[in-house]
Structure 1
Amino acid sequence: MAKQEKLIGEQRREALLSWLKTSDAPITGTELANKAGVSRQVIVQDISLLKAKNEPIIATSQGYLLMQTQPETPMYERIIPCVHTPEQTEDELNTMVDAGVTVKNVIVEHPVYGDLEALVMVKDRHDVKNFLARISSTNAPLLSVLTEGVHLHTISSDTEEKLDVCELHLKQKGYIFE
């Protein structure tokens, strides 16, 4: 994206909301910064100000996303307990998205901080590939390394059957923690 004329304060925050509202996919802080003609740090600060005004913006591993109003079709969710090695992460995530579910988050229980939750928001193999590339490029450890591979995922789908299939496939591969 070409760098644009620098937007100022409230005008920039209104533009950020507009860009997020019209995007079907997450937008990175760098992309938003380029569009607004400011630094990524300014975008981070703007997002914080917008969140403080109760704008439903979430930060995912792929960028910022504005939570839309309720979908027309009902969504079903389930929290599933998983365990695997870091090397099995790609197979675990692909198994879930191949069943037609979205992996919303990962949750681990830390002995000091309690539950630590991070948004994952992957719905297909392309998202999985990008998520893992980001983990790799930043050398960021997976949260599950804090708990010897034990973690929870919140999964969602438009049918309960897809959640059942997902859980069955994970169990068959030995990824369900029992």
Structure 2
Amino acid sequence: MDNQERRNQILKILNESSESVKGSILGKKFNVSRQVIVQDISLLRATGEDIIATPNGYIKLRHEGIVNTIVCRHSGKYELEDELEIIVNYGGKILDVSVEHGVYGEVKGNLNIGNMGDIEQFMEKLGSSSVEPLCSLTDGLHMHTIETMNKESFEKIKSELLKKGYLIL
């Protein structure tokens, strides 16, 4: 199998998968290193493929609903979890989180959180590491790109986040 054929197969796997696929698993499948997979993904992105790296692996983005950005502020991991749960419980999928850094500009982390299991897994990773959430760089201020199936769902999310004092208008 040549390099282009491997990249085509990687793209096929990502297109057919409804969940993230770890680079190490792709590496084993194609008998190459994870670093080769990282390079393949970069080349696929350069051709316009919308592939993101999440903490759980690679995902080919497919937007099926309405995508909006919200600005929030909270302090602490409890409020972070509460914010994520509100978004998911009202039909949202959290695609990413970003902050505006004074030196680096926009710093973004891909999340792809769409259900309570994803939140639990994210919070476990956060709790078991010494890493702080991105919003700790900006006194809790951050943005989320979220996807909802309809405008009503988005409005409910905004309303609930506003009630909790998390949403910045």
- Please give the TM-score of this superposition, normalised by the length of structure 1: 0.84
Q: Is the 8 A contact 1:102 1:155 kept in 2?
A: yes
Gaps of 5+ in 1: 1-6
Letter of the 2:125 partner, please give it.
R
Aligned length, in residue pairs = 168
User: What CA distance in whole angstroms lies between the structure 2 residues aligned with 1:163 and 1:10?
Assistant: 40
Alignment correspondent of 1:33: 27
Establish whether residue 169 from structure 1 lines up as the match of residue 169 from structure 2: no
Task: Look up the match of 1:105.
Answer: 96
Match of 2:75 in 1: 85
Q: Structure 1 counterpart of 2:11, which letter?
A: L
Q: How does 1:68-147 map to 2 (within 5 A)?
A: 68=62, 71=64, 75-87=65-77, 88-147=79-138
SS in 2 for 1:42: helix
CA distance in 1, matches of 2:69, 2:101: 18
| Structure 1 residue 139, shift from structure 2 partner | 3.4
Residue by residue over 1:127-159, the C-alpha shift from the partner in whole angstroms, topping out at 9 and shown as x without a partner, is 112223333445332110100111111222111
Query: What's the CA shift string for 1:11-38, capped at 9, x where partnerless?
Result: 3222211111111111111221222222
Q: CA deviation at 1:85?
A: 1.6
1:47-86 to 2 correspondences below 5 Å: 47-68=41-62, 71=64, 75-86=65-76
**Residues 9 and 78 of structure 1: CA distance in aligned 2, closer, same or farther (over 3 Å):** closer
State the distance in 2 between where 1:40 and 1:139 align. Answer: 25
- Asked if 1:14 is matched to 2:8, the reply is yes
The worse-fitting range, judged by mean Cα deviation, of 153-162 and 133-142 is 133-142
Kindly report the root-mean-square deviation, in angstroms, between the aligned alpha carbons of the 2 structures. Answer: 1.9
Look up the match of 1:157. Answer: 148
Percentage of pairs with the same residue = 36
2:139 aligns with: 148
The unaligned stretches of length 5 or more in structure 2 are none
Could you say if the C-alpha distance between residues 17 and 165 of structure 1 is closer, same or farther in structure 2, counting changes exceeding 3 Å? same
TM-score (norm 2): 0.88
